[in-house]
């Protein structure tokens, strides 16, 4: 086992012959060992309490539009008023540095009559998470502002939320179904979705058409 | 980048030449069969005498391919008279049924050549007690046309 | 001037319009196209051979996994996650298990975490071998395909010995893993890693030093760091633009804080960069596997109360969690919502390929069809994860 360690250390110094100019070899490997890393289980790993450093400035900036805050297994959550979604998220991105939007999605609570929007953010510079949530009226118009002006990557996530939950995103460049074909009845991830079968066929241009009954060329 | 033009091509050729003498990685399948690992999760089978009819396997099955059926076999062990039956074409070989069985009755075997001309082969408890070759010999309509 | 050309193939109509040298054409690439690695359909609007607009059309492999998850007990979604990114099934298990462990506050035994690291890094190698092989194939080189699949076969053999399956692995359980390593498995892993490392050097000679490959890949499908961050790209696609970000380092889980490895990055942001990041990452995987084997502790492999027949009785508290892991292709996360019952209330999978594929129109618009194939291959997408 001992010589294995030497071998890999020696290999590290070998210059790669065909290495491209401009390609950098990063050396982030922490050779000095963190004493904490020897403990088991790691104290600070899984179940950190939610840090409020990012929630407080948001509360200051938006006052009553931050409805409440909470904790998502160690990640801070703020509940906001849906009309201010774009402002809060743009503040979170531009001022607080949450550059990475993991996903946009929803969760349906028919008993409470709400549809919960969920934006999962992460900051590359500070390594912190932030979850922004907003409650939409489940039986109402289900409209919320699109965050595509802030993150281009939100485009497909919002199309997915429209497809599976029926949330309309104002200002989205091209809001249409992403997985299911146009013309599909219902939004499948709603808890009261009607699960009767629907059949898909194809028209002359290769676009999908939805039928209620089976037939040749439909499945 | 190699400063001498075509140097990389020659290096690549040398690598290819090195590979010439190496043993083959492939098998001529129907004649030579690749052995599978000890823990391979293949077709589900049953040790019929042991089953106590607790229906744990049917509860753990993710897609409902394992269900309970009424069947008389060994009333001493299985007082309820229910045994599992498995829809082998639907089974996803997750091994959960084996994991939850309290008496090591339902288990995975290492048989993996399960191709059939018909879908929806439902294996009764008796068939689950046999090997695949026995089943094919006894019930040819389920196997080859 | 407008003429319509009906082609015999069903559902394909080519519309040619425009005067003189400007010839516009709508072309469907896929869903059955060998270079799309699955059933992806690209609607291309062409001007001659230049792609003017590219629109990926998804949903041909949609299996409604998030709906399926709500129908059964928590553990019953574990084998279903295998079928999402079927090239690297272990990581899907890991993402789901990590989210559950944060939700339920399960403490995973140390040996289980080491086994997870070894099996996971083996899976990363297998995934990158598949990338190298098919990437060469998409460029028109058939030789690397055979060599890398030969090596991948060895890795899959090890995974098969450990878990009993090659692709749909279902190895992880909440709070640990299913199997301990079989007799002599660690020695076999060690000797295989030595062998693979020697082969990796040959692969390096064959691919990285190949002038034709270099010329083909440089400057194709360029993306800047800002664009990649804004698009939500992760994994090698992001690291190829110069952003040094790896969840194993920056938001570590399991025993990764103890592992010593580098995060390879490139600054070019083109197909060459993405290819180089992956081939260099494989060397780090060899390092991690060796270290994990050296430090492998003894002990239990699954937390108390989550083994045997108790796997189907998991009942987490009324909470939510988001757990994510660094897969060979990027960030894979699971958002779980529990209502204190035995079934999930909501499971959302944040797919790595789903976000990575989104940059394709940016990469290919303005380039030729031949470059579209290369750009698509360099993203290393897997459709099972995109459509879910
Ligand atoms: S292996 Fe899995 S899918 Fe097959 S019968 Fe057993 S529990 Fe059901
Ligand atoms: S096979 Fe095992 S788990 Fe299934 S009913 Fe019989 S004893 Fe119970």
- Give the closest residue (by CA) to ligand 1 atom 2: B94
d(CA B128, CA B43): 9
Minimal CA separation from C165 to chain B, in Å? 6
Within 226-285 of C, beta carbons closer than 8 Å to B belong to none
Is there a domain that residue B76 lies in? yes
Residue B38 near residue C161 (C-beta atoms within 8 A)? yes
List the chains bordering chain A where 3 or more Cβ pairs fall under 8 Å: B, C
Is there a domain that residue B21 lies in? no
Is there a domain that residue B33 lies in? no
In the sheet that holds A75-80, the strands lie side by side as A66-72, A75-80, A129-137, A114-122, A100-109
**Residues with Cβ within 6 A of ligand 2?**
B 51-57, 84, 101, 103, 105-106
**How much is the pLDDT for A183?**
79
Q: What share of chain B is helix, strand, coil (3-state, %, to 5)?
A: 30, 15, 60
Nearest CA in chain A to C108: A41
- Give the closest residue (by CA) to ligand 1 atom 7: B61
Among B134, B126, B120, CA closest to B83: B126
Is there a domain that residue B27 lies in? no
Distance of CA C51 to the CA centre of its chain: 27
Contact B9 C211 (CB under 8 A): yes
Distance C381 CA to ligand 1 centre (A): 29
Within 2-61 of B, beta carbons closer than 8 Å to A belong to 2, 8
**Residues with Cβ within 6 A of ligand 1?**
B 44, 60-63, 65-66, 86, 91-97
Could you report the per-residue pLDDT of C73-121, keeping only the tens digit for each? Answer: 888 888 888 888 888 888 999 989 888 888 888 888 888 888 889 999 9
ipTM given for this complex:
0.84
* CA angle (A178, A182, A187) in 5-degree steps: 70
Residue B124 makes CB contacts below 8 A (sequence gap 6+) with: B69, B71, B85
Domain range enclosing B58: 44-138
Show pLDDT as tens, one digit a residue, over chain A (219 residues): 344 444 444 444 444 443 333 333 333 344 444 544 555 544 444 445 456 667 777 777 777 777 777 777 778 888 888 888 888 888 888 888 888 888 898 888 888 888 888 888 888 887 788 888 888 888 888 888 888 888 888 888 888 888 888 888 888 888 888 888 887 888 888 888 888 878 888 777 667 788 877 777 776
Contact C322 A120 (CB under 8 A): yes
Distance A80 CA to ligand 1 centre (A): 44
Is there a domain that residue B134 lies in? yes
pTM of the model: 0.84
Is there a domain that residue B92 lies in? yes
Is there a domain that residue B48 lies in? yes
Tell me, yes or no, if C289 comes closer than 8 A to chain A by beta carbon: no
CATH of the domain at B49: 3.30.70.3270
Contact B12 C209 (CB under 8 A): yes
| Total number of domains constituting chain B | 1
Is there a domain that residue B116 lies in? yes
Residue A87 makes CB contacts below 8 A (sequence gap 6+) with: A62, A65
Tell me, yes or no, if C204 comes closer than 8 A to chain B by beta carbon: no
Residue C113 near residue C297 (C-beta atoms within 8 A)? no
Contact A26 C105 (CB under 8 A): no
- Give the closest residue (by CA) to ligand 1 atom 4: B91
- Give the closest residue (by CA) to ligand 2 atom 8: B54
């Amino acid at each position: 086992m001992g010589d294995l360690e030497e071998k890999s250390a020696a290999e590290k110094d070998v210059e790669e012959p065909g290495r491209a100019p401009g390609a950098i070899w990063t050396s982030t490997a922490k050779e000095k060992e963190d004493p904490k890393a020897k403990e088991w289980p790691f104290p600070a790993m899984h179940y950190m309490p939610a840090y409020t450093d990012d929630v407080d400035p948001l509360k200051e900036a938006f006052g009553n539009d931050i409805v409440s805050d909470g904790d998502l297994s160690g990640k801070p959550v703020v509940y906001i008023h849906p009309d201010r979604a774009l402002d809060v998220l743009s503040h979170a991105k531009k001022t607080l540095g949450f550059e990475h939007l993991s996903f946009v999605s929803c969760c349906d609570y028919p008993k409470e009559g709400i549809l919960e929007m969920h934006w999962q953010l992460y900051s590359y510079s500070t390594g912190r998470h932030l979850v922004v949530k907003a409650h939409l009226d489940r039986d109402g118009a289900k409209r919320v502002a699109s965050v595509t002006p802030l993150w281009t990557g939100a485009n497909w996530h919002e199309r997915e939320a429209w497809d599976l939950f029926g949330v309309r995103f104002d200002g989205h460049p091209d809001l249409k179904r992403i997985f299911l074909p146009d013309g599909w009845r219902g939004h499948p991830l709603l808890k009261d979705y009607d699960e009767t079968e629907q059949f898909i066929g194809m028209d002359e241009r290769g676009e999908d058409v939805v039928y209620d009954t089976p037939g040749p060329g439909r499945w | 980048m190699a400063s001498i033009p075509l140097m990389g091509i020659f290096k690549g050729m040398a690598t290819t030449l090195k590979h010439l003498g190496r043993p083959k990685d492939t098998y001529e399948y129907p004649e030579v069969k690749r052995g599978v690992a000890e823990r391979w999760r293949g077709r589900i089978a049953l040790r019929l005498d042991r089953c106590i009819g607790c229906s744990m396997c049917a509860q753990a099955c993710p897609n409902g391919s394992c269900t309970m059926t009424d069947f008389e076999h060994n009333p001493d062990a299985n007082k309820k008279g229910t045994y599992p039956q498995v829809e082998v074409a639907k089974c996803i070989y997750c091994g959960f049924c084996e994991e939850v069985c309290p008496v090591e009755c339902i288990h995975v075997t290492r048989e993996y050549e399960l191709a059939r001309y018909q879908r929806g082969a439902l294996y009764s408890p008796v068939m689950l007690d046999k090997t695949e070759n026995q089943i094919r010999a006894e019930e040819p309509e389920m196997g080859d046309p | 001037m407008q003429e319509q050309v009906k082609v015999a193939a069903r559902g394909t109509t080519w519309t040619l319009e425009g005067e003189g040298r400007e010839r516009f054409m709508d072309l469907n690439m896929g869903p059955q196209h060998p270079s799309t690695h699955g059933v992806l359909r690209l609607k291309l609007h062409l001007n001659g051979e230049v792609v003017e607009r590219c629109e990926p059309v998804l949903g041909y492999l949609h299996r409604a996994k998030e709906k399926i998850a709500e129908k059964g007990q928590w553990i019953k979604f574990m084998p279903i996650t295998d079928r999402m990114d079927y090239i690297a099934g272990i990581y899907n298990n890991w993402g789901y298990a990590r989210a559950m462990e944060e939700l339920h506050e399960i403490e995973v035994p140390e040996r289980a975490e080491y086994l997870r690291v070894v099996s996971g890094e083996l899976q990363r190698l297998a995934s990158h071998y598949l990338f190298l092989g098919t990437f060469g194939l998409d460029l028109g080189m058939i030789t690397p395909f055979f060599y890398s699949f030969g090596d991948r076969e060895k890795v899959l053999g090890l995974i098969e010995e450990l878990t009993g399956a090659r692709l749909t692995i279902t190895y992880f359980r909440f709070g640990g893993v299913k199997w301990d390593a079989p007799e002599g498995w660690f020695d076999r892993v060690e000797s295989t890693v030595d062998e693979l490392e020697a082969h990796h050097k040959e692969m390096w000679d064959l691919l990285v030093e190949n002038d034709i490959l270099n010329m083909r890949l440089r400057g194709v499908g360029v993306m800047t760091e800002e664009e990649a961050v804004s698009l939500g790209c992760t994994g090698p696609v992001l690291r190829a633009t110069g952003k040094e970000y790896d969840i194993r380092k920056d938001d570590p889980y399991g025993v990764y804080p103890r592992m010593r490895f580098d995060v390879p990055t490139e600054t070019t942001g083109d197909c060459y960069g993405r290819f180089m990041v992956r081939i260099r990452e494989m060397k780090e995987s060899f390092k991690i596997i060796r270290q994990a084997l050296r430090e492998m502790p003894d002990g239990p492999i699954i937390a108390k109360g989550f083994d045997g027949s108790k796997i189907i009785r998991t009942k987490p508290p009324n909470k939510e969690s988001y757990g994510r892991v660094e897969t060979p292709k990027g960030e894979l996360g699971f958002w779980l919502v529990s209502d204190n019952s035995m079934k999930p209330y909501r499971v959302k999978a944040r797919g790595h390929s789903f976000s990575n594929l989104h940059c394709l129109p940016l990469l290919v618009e303005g380039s030729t069809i031949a470059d579209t194939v290369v750009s698509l291959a360099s993203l290393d997408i897997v459709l099972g994860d995109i459509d879910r």
